[in-house]
Amino acid sequence: MAAIVERLELDVSLDRITSWRVRDLCYRATVTRGSEAGSFVGYGTGATVQEARARAVMEWVERYAQFGPAPPRTARTARAASIADVAILPPTLGLYARSQYIAGFPCVPFSMDDPIAWVEGADLADGRRRLVPVEFVYPRAPLGRPPLACETSSGTAAHVDPIAAALAAVCEA
């Protein structure tokens, strides 16, 4: 852990503001180097120091994997209408109600005809390679247009076992 994490410390400030179990310890893992996106913090709780520290580091890994790397290479930029047969379309991923798109709202409605940057991923249901809008995978990727969805790390999980990571991500979303 020392090679990755700059600071790993007991965080007593969260005791009053979280719903974590009282008997759990809360640790914060902080790393500020290695990314143009800034620092990343991971929090973890556990009944033991080792469990809390490990969870804090894994939470940091999740956030760094999603927000920290250099902008991804897009598989292609295309209109959803032209690739609908190989894409996971934004409406199936969750978008906003029409009434939310008011002046000042940071996101724009999805249109099948607007060009979107897509990245390749695997469909968990059947393993097929599918295209996903870049901002649903890398929320801080430069888009050159307003985003379809606001940044979140929900649905992101890290684990040493890919199946366990996928299950944790699905259960978190």
Q: Is the pLDDT of residue 123 over 60?
A: yes
Which candidate, 122, 133, 138, places its Cα nearest to that of 89? 133
pLDDT given for residue 79 in this prediction: 97
**Cα–Cα–Cα angle for 16, 150, 70, nearest 5°?**
100
Indicate where the chain has its CATH 3.30.160 domain(s): 7-70
Write down the mean pLDDT value for the chain.
78
Cα end-to-end distance, the chain, whole Å? 27
pLDDT interval class at 119 (50, 70, 90):
very high
Q: Is the pTM of this model over 0.75?
A: no
pLDDT digits (tens, 9 = 90+) for 37-87: 567 777 777 777 777 777 777 888 887 777 776 667 777 999 999 999 999
Quick one: CA dihedral 162, 36, 139, 17, positive or negative?
positive
Q: How confident is the model at residue 173 (pLDDT cuts 50, 70, 90)?
A: low
10 pLDDT above the threshold of 70: no
Token pair, residue 114, equals 């607007």
pLDDT at 28: 65
Q: How confident is the model at residue 4 (pLDDT cuts 50, 70, 90)?
A: low
**Which own/partner pairs from 93-98 qualify as long-range (CB within 8 Å, at least 24 positions apart)?**
93/132, 93/133, 93/136, 93/149, 94/149, 95/148, 95/149, 96/149
Lowest mean pLDDT among 14-28, 64-78, 90-104, 132-146: 14-28
- Supply the CATH classification number for the domain 7-70: 3.30.160
The span from the CA of 152 to the CA of 173, in Å, is 10
- CATH code 3.30.40 region(s) in the chain: 72-173
Our CA angle for 126, 120, 144, nearest 5°, is 145
Across the chain, how many H-helices and E-strands are there? 4, 6
In terms of Cβ atoms closer than 10 Å to its own Cβ (0-12, 13-18, 19+), residue 108 is middle
| Overall fold of domain 72-173 | Herpes Virus-1 (3.30.40)
pLDDT for the residue numbered 13 = 56
